[in-house]
């Protein structure tokens, strides 16, 4: 009998495996998630972000066994401190804010490798000492020249610190025989022009793939789950388009005020603080096409397409609303008006609330309004994406007890109570044919025994591993400013609409949706 011809392997495009699911491709590779030996240098290590997020995240990583044995934490700040003072600060921060339980044994491993270098950013001598200390540690602690520099400092300080790193040779991969990476915190500039300058500044000192811009929302588990939801399931993708979706609401509400950050916040406002980054990143992930593979480049290619396709409404007067909180009540306590907060000018026009209707000019999303809103001193802290589906084209229940049915809704809850809720019509038990809306809930906390890592835990680990998937690139930042700049220009000099603290924003934002025959969801 003639031999059967050998089976021809299926044709594969580069970057794709035969089964073609980009999420499975990534899992199958089972990448080791422990970084190589390295140092993490934190500038501004005594600041708020460092104490509340970075130092606790480092402890949590150590506790989970995700730091290499040869790991050094090096702090730099303007304090007359030694290693011991820094160790006390780091210990206190971890004890107060870490996610995982406290363990002296874990801490003793971390604190053996903690160093502090005091100095100001314009102090050449201090930077020379920092460089020597780092070189020393590389030689004695087996960290092979690998170091990440975390700029937990005001953006106005970036140029001087970057120049110091360049001057001392600390930033160079070649000179140090290992990798050198830099982590930049948002805000990434104040507008497109300053973002371009900042990007150039950073790119002059570090190579593009060694720059990690942190948008901590991308480190949140539920945000990453948007990709799993869409591309690991058969169920949702067919209805993820303008044929089925009526509108999308993205809400980031906070009950806190400006939390003593008047200096930063009053010069920034809600649109620059979170709309430009967190909310547009959520929108981009929600709306992207399937990436060719689960790699930083492929995901970024798809996100940038969405960001570039965003359109602003022609009628900004009606569809771009900003507000500022007035005094009011929250959780039974009287709270101050924004303008009465410490260090806020009494005539400040800065917005603590912003709502806007955006479009995405693609075949998939043409005609679907995306309503984005964010605000401080709203009734509660909640971030969610709510997808309102079109109503069923026909309801054969006219001779029954069924009243008007709502839209089917899928709500992706980013925080708190991370999970999904699906709202749909269901028959009420009994002999009558009565249909009412019900909700089906998936809660992360119940479905998985392990609690989700904090966003900073995940992102610091990714920096040390060198995985840039969850970090926005230059082009994304620039495309986002192209959306925000015209809004800011339109708002310039205008008084924001007032809303009472503890309420869901100004009435003008409700009118914006009512004009379209819709209403905000009450999360
Ligand atoms: C930051 C903003 O990026 O995000 C803050 O600058 C805001 O104004 C914070 O309060 C909210 O983060 P989270 O993770 O608490 O939702």
- Structure confidence at residue 64 (pLDDT): 92
pTM, two decimal places:
0.90
CA distance 73 to 107: 12
Q: Take residue 291 and report the two structure tokens written for it.
A: 């990436």
Q: Which atom of ligand 1 is nearest to the CA of 415?
A: 16
Residues 448, 418 contacting (CB under 8 angstroms): no
- Helices 104-111 and 83-97 pack at an angle, to 10 degrees, of 140
CA gap 491, 504 in Å, rounded: 21
Give, using CA atoms, the residue closest to atom 7 of ligand 1.
274
Place of tokens 């495309």: 479
Q: How far is the CA of 70 from the centre of ligand 1 (A)?
A: 32
**Residue 28 pLDDT:** 41
Give the Cα separation of 49 and 47 in Å (integer): 6
Question: Which pLDDT belongs to residue 450?
Answer: 76
Measure the N-to-C terminal CA separation of the chain; round to a whole number of Å: 70
In ligand 1, which atom is closest to the CA atom of 268? 6
- CB count within 10 Å of CB 149 equals 27
Q: Is any ligand 1 atom within 6 A of the Cβ of residue 274?
A: yes
> Which pLDDT score is estimated for 18?
43
* Ligand 1 lined by 210 (C-beta under 6 Å): no
What does the angle CA 455 – CA 461 – CA 462 come to, to the nearest 5 degrees?
90
Long-range contacts of 259-267 (CB under 8 A, 24+ apart): 260/342, 262/341, 262/342, 262/343, 262/344, 263/343, 264/154, 265/350, 265/352, 266/343, 266/344, 266/345, 266/348, 266/350, 267/350
Give, using CA atoms, the residue closest to atom 13 of ligand 1. Answer: 217
Q: Regarding beta strands 71-77 and 114-118, do their DSSP bridges make them parallel or antiparallel, or are they unpaired?
A: parallel
Closest Cα to atom 6 of ligand 1: 273
Distance in angstroms (rounded) separating the CA atoms of residues 518 and 247 = 9
Q: What are the structural domains of the chain?
A: 39-185 (3.40.50.720), 218-514 (3.30.360.10)
Burial of 27 (0-12, 13-18, 19+ CB in 10 A): exposed
Residue 187: predicted pLDDT = 82
Which pLDDT score is estimated for 78?
92
CB of 273 shorter than 6 A to ligand 1: yes
pLDDT at 403: 66
Atom number in ligand 1 closest to CA 273: 6
Q: What is the pLDDT of residue 19?
A: 46
* Candidates 190, 278, 394, 407; catalytic one: 278
Ligand 1 centroid–CA 461 distance in Å is 20
185 lines ligand 1 (CB under 6 A): no
Q: Which of 97, 188, 216 to mutate to test the pocket of ligand 1 (most atoms within 8 A of CB)?
A: 216
Q: What is the pLDDT along the chain (523 residues), one digit of tens a residue?
A: 444 444 444 444 444 444 455 444 444 445 558 899 999 999 999 999 999 999 999 999 999 999 998 999 999 999 999 999 999 999 999 999 999 999 999 999 888 889 999 999 999 999 999 999 999 998 888 888 999 999 999 888 999 999 999 999 999 988 888 999 999 988 888 999 999 999 999 999 999 999 999 999 999 988 888 999 999 999 999 999 999 999 999 999 999 999 888 988 999 999 999 999 999 999 999 999 999 998 889 999 999 999 999 999 999 999 999 999 999 999 999 999 999 999 999 999 999 999 999 999 999 999 999 999 999 999 999 999 999 999 988 877 776 666 677 889 999 999 898 999 999 988 888 887 888 889 999 998 888 877 788 999 999 999 999 999 999 999 999 999 999 999 999 999 999 999 999 999 999 999 999 999 999 999 8
Cα–Cα dist 388/412, whole Å: 12
Q: What is the CA radius of gyration of the chain?
A: 25
Q: How far apart are the CA of 220 and the centre of ligand 1, in A?
A: 12
**Would you say 354 and 373 are in contact if contact means Cβ atoms under 8 Å apart?**
yes
Atom of ligand 1 at shortest distance to CA of 215?
3
β-bridge mates for residue 39, sequence order: 72, 147
Q: Is 278 a catalytic residue?
A: yes
User: Which is nearest to 416 in space by CA: 228, 254, 224?
Assistant: 254
| Ligand 1 and 254: CB distance under 6 A | yes
Instruction: Give residue for tokens 């400092």.
Output: 153
DSSP codes of every residue in 326-347: ESEEETTEEE--GGGSTT--TT
Q: How far is the CA of 258 from the centre of ligand 1 (A)?
A: 10
pLDDT at position 14: 42
**Of 143, 149, 181, nearest to 38 (Cα)?**
143
Of ligand 1's listed atoms, the one at least distance from the Cα of 278 is 3
* Sign of the alpha-carbon dihedral angle for 165, 169, 174, 177: negative
């Amino acid at each position: 009998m003639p031999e059967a011809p050998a089976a021809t392997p299926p044709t594969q495009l580069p970057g794709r495996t035969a089964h073609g699911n980009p999420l499975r491709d990534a899992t199958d590779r089972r990448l080791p998630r422990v970084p190589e030996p390295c140092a993490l240098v934190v500038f501004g290590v005594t600041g708020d972000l460092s104490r509340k997020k970075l130092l606790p995240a480092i402890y949590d990583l150590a506790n989970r066994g995700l730091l290499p044995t040869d790991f050094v934490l090096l702090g730099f700040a303007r304090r007359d401190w030694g290693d011991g003072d820094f160790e006390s600060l780091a210990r206190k921060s971890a004890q107060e804010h870490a996610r995982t339980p406290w363990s002296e044994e874990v801490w003793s491993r971390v604190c053996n490798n903690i160093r502090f270098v005091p100095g100001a950013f314009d102090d050449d001598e201090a930077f020379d000492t920092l460089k020597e200390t780092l070189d020393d540690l590389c030689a004695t602690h087996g960290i092979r020249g690998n170091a990440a520099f975390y700029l937990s400092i005001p953006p106005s300080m970036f140029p001087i610190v970057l120049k110091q790193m360049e001057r001392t040779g600390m930033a160079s991969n070649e000179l140090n025989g290992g990798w050198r990476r830099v982590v930049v915190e948002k805000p990434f500039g104040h507008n497109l022009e300053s973002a371009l300058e900042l990007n150039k500044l950073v790119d002059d000192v570090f190579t593009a793939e060694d720059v990690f811009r942190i948008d901590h929302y991308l480190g949140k588990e539920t945000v990453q789950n948007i990709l799993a939801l869409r591309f690991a399931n058969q169920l949702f993708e067919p209805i993820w388009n303008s044929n089925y979706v009526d509108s999308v609401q993205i809400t980031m509400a906070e009950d806190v005020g400006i939390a003593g950050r008047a200096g930063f916040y009053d010069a920034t406002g809600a649109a620059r603080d979170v709309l430009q980054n967190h909310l547009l990143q959520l929108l981009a992930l929600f709306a992207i096409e399937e990436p060719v593979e689960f790699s930083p480049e492929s995901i970024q290619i798809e996100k940038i397409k969405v960001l570039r396709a965003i359109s602003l409404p022609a009628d900004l007067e009606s569809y771009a609303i900003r507000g500022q909180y007035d005094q009011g009540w929250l959780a039974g306590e009287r709270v101050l008006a924004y303008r009465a907060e410490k260090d806020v000018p009494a005539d400040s026009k800065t917005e603590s609330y912003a709502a806007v209707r955006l479009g995405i000019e693609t075949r998939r999303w043409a005609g679907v309004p995306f309503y984005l809103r964010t605000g401080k001193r709203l009734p509660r802290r909640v971030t969610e994406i709510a997808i309102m589906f079109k109503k069923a084209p026909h309801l054969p229940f006219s001779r029954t007890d069924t009243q008007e049915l709502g839209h089917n809704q899928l709500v992706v809850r980013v925080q708190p109570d991370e999970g999904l809720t699906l709202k749909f019509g269901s028959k009420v038990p009994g002999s009558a044919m009565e249909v009412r809306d019900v909700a089906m809930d998936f809660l992360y906390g119940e479905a998985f025994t392990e609690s989700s890592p904090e966003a900073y835990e995940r992102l610091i680990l990714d920096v040390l591993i060198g995985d840039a998937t969850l970090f926005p690139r230059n082009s994304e930042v620039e495309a986002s400013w192209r959306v925000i700049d015209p809004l800011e220009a339109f708002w310039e000099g205008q008084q924001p609409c007032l809303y009472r603290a503890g309420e869901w924003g100004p009435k003008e934002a409700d009118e914006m949706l009512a004009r379209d025959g819709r209403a905000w969801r009450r999360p």
